[in-house]
Amino acid sequence: MASGSSRFRVPNSRSPKRRAQEDDREGRALKLREDIVQAVAWRRVDQLGLLAKRALRLQVDRHVLEATGIGMLLSDTSLWAMANDPQVAATAAAAAESWRREFRGRHLPVEATVRLQSREVPRPLGGKKAGPFLKVVEALDSRAGDMEPTATPMAVRTVAVAVALRGFEKLEDLEGVAQEETATWISSPAGAALLRKLTHRVWLGSVRRRAQERAATAAEEALQTQPACAEAFAASLSEEQQGAAERAVANQFEEAGVVGLGSSLRPHAATAALEAARDQGHDVLQLLDRRGAQLQLETRRRSLGSAASALRAWHGFAVAMLGYEAARTLPPRSEQDVVRWVSTFRNFGTAANYVGFLRWAARALDLGLEWDGQRIGMTLKGGKKWALRNVGSEAPARRLLTEDLVLSVTHLSESLEIAGFKAFLLFSWELLARVADEAVPAQWGSAEDVLHLPAGRHSAVYIDQGTGSLTVHWRTRKHRPNGSVLRRPCTCQSKGRDRCMPHAVAKWAVQSGACVGQRLWPWAPAAARKILTRMLALLAVPDADRFTWKAVRAGKATAMAAGGYRLQEILMAGEWRSRALFAYVDSDAADHAELLRQTLVHESSDSEAE
Ligand SMILES: [Zn+2]
């Protein structure tokens, strides 16, 4: 069609005389078109006969037909049928036929040219045939009349016709049309005012409708994000609770006839079994949701205790300081509330972990993360920097042992004749032991015990007479439910006999007359700590009474880092789960010192006995 329409283009070389003639033709065509449109729009069907005769007399050419679209009107047989007079229809058909001849048997260009896409002139009846056009006018007329009952029927009809002529079918469709444009549609003041009023009303209505839709969506979201009690959720995080909940869901699946989900059932078979259960009336989707929630908990299973601590801490702060209802402490109401909470921490590594648990809980409970934003991360980051600047890399209340301090304490304990303390401290230090759980209860053992720990035994410590190395077998260690066997060589050659841990322990074993299966050390954790802090005080170490047994494990790791050990070696020496470590590393913990600090901080936030 593109080549066709280009041939209808008017040449630029028209003479002034010819142009005037054409303008005159176009003017008369436009007038006729307007009169036909008005006759149709106002149903003045008695005028159609005269209009058809005018059309027959009208001189047209391609340009006029294309510019006015009047050909569309003349070839619309439904329009002329409105006159209910065969003569009128015949006259119109004759006019259309003569114009068609002008195009040598082609279609009238207005029926198919691209310009028909425009809402402008060439679409005489809004692009419709007379019948559908009138239907639209009537519908608009009745709607506008309903909206403005006091308007005159004349003004209402004027508006309906003006709107329909532009190809609109509903007043609502005018929403996107500029006021400046609609202002030009109607010349009569009453009609123009009415159109202005109606378009404004339509606009208001759509604004209100959108607001209602938004409110409905918000209500729906609120329904989905029922606030929860952080403390109650924390309580549900115990191993027993989780186990019971899992068994309950498994039982419900089995009652519904879905056996082996998550174990023996392949996906296809699972779908079939679930389908069957659903058809029997079981709420299968709800069960799947519960299983999904449990699988999500699994991601933090090993740190459920820490998660519970974090959630209880948030709950307490939210209720006491922020005025939250106890039953609605999750999710946080705003980012600002979380920033306030973070600001209460002295250790921002712990704070970061706690916020992480808050996020995890919000996700697990499907509560949304609208409260989570960049300011939280900035506060945590800034807090860490602040702590570094103000109190060094350690939390203010925490004191760590160093190699020098350990050496000083062992010497002092020897000169004070505190039997066994040197061996005890070196043992704890070199093995990076959790003192209360691992070093204090350590039991003497045989070479056999180290290989196969007898039932009922906590541990076995054995020293090989030949090599002088010490081996310890713990039945369980944290994160190592199957226990752990560690060996430390004699260091008499490298560090001197005075500093050799295996020899100090061997000496103490002989001195104390240790028997296989008996505890090596005579003290409870608290008593042993008292000895330590007393000696630190004697050594004039500041804040001596603030040293806890965490000073050993974290202190040795830090000392190793300072001594140039690689991170992996330190993690192995302390048997940290590197997987656990990396799970808690945050983005700015890129360097090893920070990684290590994160590890220690995380461990200290666990509920490990001191
Ligand atoms: Zn030695």
501 C-alpha to center of ligand 1: Å? Answer: 7
Q: How far is CA 95 from CA 87, 104, 191, in A?
A: 12, 15, 34
178 and 285 part of one domain: no
How far away, in angstroms, is 492 Cα from ligand 1 center? Answer: 4
Residues 72 and 182 in one domain: no
* Model confidence pLDDT, tens digit, residues 528-578: 999 999 888 888 888 888 888 888 888 888 888 777 777 777 778 888 766
Alpha carbon distance 176, 133 (integer Å) = 22
Answer whether 70's CB lies under 8 Å from 32's CB: yes
Pairing of strands 459-463, 484-488: unpaired
Q: Domain end: 362, 391, 420, which one?
A: 391
Residue 349: exposed, middle, or buried by beta-carbon count in 10 A (0-12, 13-18, 19+)?
Answer: buried
Alpha carbon of 436 to ligand 1 centroid (Å): 25
610 part of a folded domain: no
Distance 469 CA to ligand 1 centre (A): 8
Cβ distance 330 to 376 under 8 Å?
no
Least confident span in 388-392, 394-398, 412-416, 443-447: 394-398
Beta bridge partners of 462: 471
Q: 412 CA to middle of ligand 1, Å?
A: 20
Residue 566 lies in a domain: no
* Residues 315 and 336 grouped into a single domain: yes
pLDDT digits (tens, 9 = 90+) for 190-213: 899 899 888 888 877 777 777 666
* Number of other residues whose CB lies within 10 A of the CB of residue 377: 16
Ligand 1 centroid to Cα of residue 30, in Å, is 115
Q: Cα–Cα distance between 314 and 335 in angstroms, integer?
A: 13
Q: Tens digits of per-residue pLDDT, 257-298?
A: 888 887 788 888 888 888 888 888 888 888 888 788 777 767
Q: Are residues 101 and 148 in the same domain?
A: no
Helix (H) or strand (E) holding 299: none
How distant, in Å, are the alpha carbons of 38, 46, 451, 486, 559 from that of 65? 19, 25, 105, 100, 96
State which of 356, 371, 391 marks the end of a domain: 391
pLDDT at 121 over 50: no
Q: Which residue has the higher pLDDT, 349 or 217?
A: 349
For ligand 1, the distance from its centroid to the CA atom of residue 468, given in whole angstroms, is 6
Q: Is 600 among the domain residues?
A: no
Rounded CA-CA distance 90/356 in Å is: 84
As residues whose CB is below 5 A from the ion ligand 1, the structure lists 468, 490, 492, 500, 503
Q: Output the CA 284–ligand 1 centroid distance in Å.
A: 66
| Inter-residue contact 412 to 538 (CB < 8 Å) | yes
Distance CA 237, CA 246 (A): 12
Q: What is the pLDDT of residues 3-32, one digit of tens each?
A: 444 444 444 555 677 767 767 888 888 899
Q: What pLDDT score does 332 carry?
A: 93
Q: How far is the CA of 575 from the centre of ligand 1 (A)?
A: 23
Same domain, 407 and 379: no
User: Residue 515 C-alpha to ligand 1 middle, in angstroms?
Assistant: 21
CA of 500 from ligand 1 middle (Å) equals: 5
Query: Residue 578 falls within a domain, yes or no?
Result: no
What is the per-residue pLDDT for 583?
40
Instruction: Answer yes or no: do 241 and 384 share one domain.
Output: yes
Same-domain status, 373 and 277: yes
Question: What pLDDT is attached to residue 2?
Answer: 39
Q: What is the distance in A from the centroid of ligand 1 to the CA of 516?
A: 21
102 plus 139 within the same structural domain: no
230 within some domain: yes
Strands 459-463 and 470-474: antiparallel
Please say whether the beta carbons of 303 and 356 come within 8 A.
no
Residue 325 shares a structural domain with residue 407: no
CB 138 within 8 A of CB 45: no
HSE value, Cβ hemisphere, 13 Å, CA-based, for 441: 13
Predicted local distance difference test score (pLDDT) of residue 440:
95
Q: Strands (DSSP E) along 558-600, which ranges?
A: none
Final residue before a domain boundary, out of 503, 523, 547: 547
In this structure, the answer to whether residues 428 and 539 fall within a common structural domain is yes
Residue 138 token pair: 């009537």
Strands in 459-463's sheet, in edge-to-edge order, are: 459-463, 470-474, 484-488
Closest CA to 73 of 121, 115, 21, 117: 121
User: Would you say residue 577 lies in a domain?
Assistant: no
Higher-confidence residue of 383 and 366: namely 383
Q: Indicate the number of domains in the chain.
A: 4
- 48 CA from centroid of ligand 1 (Å): 122
Whole-number Å distance, alpha carbon 534 to ligand 1 midpoint, is 28
Residues 376 and 262 in one domain: yes
Domain-embedded: residue 173: yes
Same domain, 108 and 175: no
Give alpha helix (H) positions in 69-110.
Answer: 70-74, 77-81, 86-102
Instruction: Give the pLDDT confidence score for residue 607 in this predicted structure.
Output: 38
SS3 556: helix
Residue 415 lies in a domain: yes
How many Cβ atoms sit within 10 Å of the Cβ of residue 292?
A: 12
pLDDT value at position 137?
93
User: What is the arithmetic mean of pLDDT over 391-410?
Assistant: 72
Q: How confident is the model at residue 511 (pLDDT cuts 50, 70, 90)?
A: very high
* Ligand 1 centroid, distance to 490 Cα (angstroms): 4
Domain holding 84: CATH number? 1.20.930
3-state SS, one letter per residue, for 5-63: HHHCCCCCCCCHHHHHHHHHHHHHHHHHHHHHHHHHHCCCHHHHHHHHHHHHHCCCCHH
CA of 444 to the centre of ligand 1 (A): 18
Average pLDDT value for residue range 237-245: 70
| Span from the CA of 465 to the centroid of ligand 1 (angstroms) | 10
Query: Which of the 8 DSSP states describes residue 238?
Result: S
Domain that holds residue 114: 16-127
Tell me what the mean pLDDT of segment 226-247 comes to: 74
- Which residues pair with residue 463 across a beta bridge? 470
598 and 584 in contact (C-beta within 8 Å)? yes
Q: Rounded CA gap, 445 and 460, in Å? A: 4
